[in-house]
Amino acid sequence: PYWKIAGEPDGAVPEVGVVYDVQHSRKGRFTLRATSINGEWLTGIIVKGVARAAMFYNVAEKGEELTIRDAHSYLVRVGRKGNDR
């Protein structure tokens, strides 16, 4: 997996419980709290914004779960574990 996380060295991996601003090449910009990491996949709950999609039924909004892939994502850490943004 190759995650791109602002201010972190190459090879850094997202952390469960941390809030990230996400810039996704297909889904746009949104903020989510990571709930699980599995290699190149990160699953989380959107806490701000909307994740776009090609099909309307794949759009995800605040409070919904979403899974993203490392190759399409740039992350910026905005909250620590347990802190709401």
For residue 12 the two structure tokens come to 């850094």
Which pTM value belongs to this model? 0.89
Percent of the chain topping pLDDT 70 = 94
Q: How far apart are CA 82 and CA 51, in angstroms?
A: 23
pLDDT on residue 47: 97
Residue pair 47/67 in contact (Cβ under 8 Å)? The answer is: no
Q: What are phi and psi of 8, to 5 degrees?
A: -115, 150
pLDDT digits (tens, 9 = 90+) for 71-83: 999 999 998 765 5
